[in-house]
Amino acid sequence: ESLELRPATMAERMQEDEVYLPGLTMERREIRIIRAAVDWHKGDKEAAAKELGIGHSTLKRKLKESGAEGGPD
Residues 47-64 pLDDT 10s? 999 999 999 999 999 999
d(CA 11, CA 25): 20
**Spatial separation of the C-alpha atoms in residues 6 and 22, rounded to whole Å:** 33
More reliable by pLDDT, 45 or 9: 45
Residue type for 69, please?
A: E
pTM of the model: 0.69
